[in-house]
Structures are given as structure tokens and as C-alpha cells.
Structure 1
């Protein structure tokens, strides 16, 4: 068993270690509470998530490409009809 100054230093080191562990626990609790509150706040703003935005964006790009292809077909058919009608 330690005696004198060594025991005091051991006790002080143990106290500091315990305090550091407690501080980390408090930090984790604060981060969790903050993240939960931030998520509730963002959800109340009716903001879409990035994954949802990207999915809709991909659908819009695909629809635009299909629209361009259909427009080209219609123009080709109209040109064909007008040349056959002459």
C-alpha cells in the first residue's frame, strides 16, 4: 500500500481519470441530445433528405431524356408525313 506523497499522487491520478471519464460521458449525452433536437427541428421544416432529393433528381433526368427522345421521334414522323403529303 502506498504511503505519503505517492498515495496522494495515486489518488489524484485516479480522481483525474474518473473526472475525464465522466466528462466524456457528459459530452456524449450532450451530443446525443443536440443531434436529436436538430433532427426534430429539421423534420419540422419539411426539408427533404439528400437520398430522397437524389432519387427524385434521377427520375427527372430520366424523364427529360425520354421526353427528348419522344420529341425527336415526333419531329421525325412529322417530317416524314409532310414529305409524303407533297
Structure 2
């Protein structure tokens, strides 16, 4: 047999209302905290996650493109670096040295001259 107790019904209704009020207050506090944190982060001039992810993706694409271009340049050069070409050393040996504009002695520090010794009579 069930009996309806108005006191228990009122108490249950009061607890439901209190729980709803506490939940609403928690949501409001969370919203206020988020707004305050956004304001603080804006003052610190930090980047947002979306901007960071976009720049990170752009950097990855640029790195991949640079690697692809490096492979392409290497393939066009025949797989060898310009300084390592077989004819580079031979050409350097046979090439004439550049003409000098100054006499050789002018480029060096002249040796210190000794003072003349007095002649003995």
C-alpha cells in the first residue's frame, strides 16, 4: 500500500529545484571563467589553436615542397653537386691564375733593415 506524504513530495521538489539552480550556477561560472581566460590570453598576445594548426599545416606543406624541389634539382644536375663535377678539378688546374695588380713584395711586410755599422778606421 502506497501513501502519499506531502512533506516528502515537497522535499523532493525542493531538492530538484536546488539541483537545477546549482547546475545553472555552475554553467554560469564556467562561462564567466572562459570569458575571463579568453580576455587574459588576448592580452598576452598568444595564438589560438586554429591559427597554430593552420600555420603548422602550411609549414609542413612548405617543407614537403622544398624537399620535392631539392630532389628535382638533384635529378636535373645528374645527382652530383656543382662543386663535385668531374671536370671541375681539371678545369681549375689548367686555368691561368689571375694577373696580379701589385708586385709581390708590396703584398708582404718588408723585413726590418739592420742599422749600418759604423766603419772602423
Q: Deviations over 1:33-58 (max 9, x none)?
A: 11111111122221112221121122
- Structure 1, 55-64 or 30-39: larger mean CA deviation: 55-64
Aligned position for 1:24:
23
1:38 counterpart SS class: helix
How far apart, CA to CA, are the structure 2 residues paired with 1:45 and 1:72? Answer: 42
Greater gyration radius = 2
- The runs of 5 or more residues in structure 1 that have no matched partner are none
Aligned position for 1:70:
69
Aligned position for 2:42:
43
1:29 counterpart SS class: helix
Deviation of the 1:64 alpha carbon:
2.2
User: Whose RCO is larger (CA < 8 A, sep 6+)?
Assistant: 2
Aligned length: 82
How far apart, CA to CA, are the structure 1 residues paired with 2:20 and 2:9? Answer: 17
Query: What TM-score do the two structures reach when normalised by structure 1?
Result: 0.68
RMSD between aligned residues: 3.0
Query: What TM-score do the two structures reach when normalised by structure 2?
Result: 0.52
Aligned position for 2:32:
33
- The runs of 5 or more residues in structure 2 that have no matched partner are 92-121
